[in-house]
Chains A and B, each alone.
Chain A
């Protein structure tokens, strides 16, 4: 979503993005001319009339589980977004019985929050796991 019109989105997809991604962008490219939606999400910069690089993970119940907002010059890490999405999906699938500690990726140690875990995280999880 950006302040560009849907017509500009089409031009961008037709002329450039489709050369980078086969068949063009598969998901909706939304227009927020005027920044009304961006204002509600806290990413609209009125002085410059553009939106910051905001990324919101919204779960199937419509709840915001996480977000990240960067100023325009720095791009995002798509892998980190997917990692977070996979972690939130695991937590949801286990109905909160499992939690994903720092640096978790699919296959790495999860933790089961409960009284047995208090003071015992160090036995279950090693600091090295926080890093790739």
Chain B
């Protein structure tokens, strides 16, 4: 489950896990974007890591840590809006 993350001055970020998408160089990101197909039902959810906040702690989360559980993954435009 989520491990604790250090709260430093740098802005931590996550990203997709595995294959060519692990590195964050600009050229790779461009390639990745072009190759990305839409999500398909019945297919694997792309794994990712992401920093976050949960109940008083900063955490690092990995989607695949939740294998064995049902997951609702929700995106929204920004904090201080509705869901």
Residues on A facing B (Cβ under 8 Å): 1-13, 16, 23-34, 36-43, 50-67, 72, 75-76, 78, 81, 85, 88-89
Q: Number of B residues whose C-beta is below 8 Å from A?
A: 55
Q: Is the interface of A mostly helix, strand, loop or mixed?
A: mixed
Is B27 interfacial (CB 8 A cutoff)? no
6 contacts between A and B (CB under 8 A): A32-B50, A50-B77, A56-B74, A57-B72, A58-B71, A58-B72
Residues in A whose Cβ lies below 8 Å from that of B64:
62
Interface of B is mostly: loop
Is A63 a contact of B69 with CB atoms below 8 Å? no
Q: Which of B44, B48, B55 contacts A37 (CB 8 A)?
A: B48
Chain A residue with Cβ nearest B74? A55
Q: Are A1 and B55 in contact (CB under 8 A)?
A: no
Residues of B within 8 Å of A55, CB to CB, are 72-75
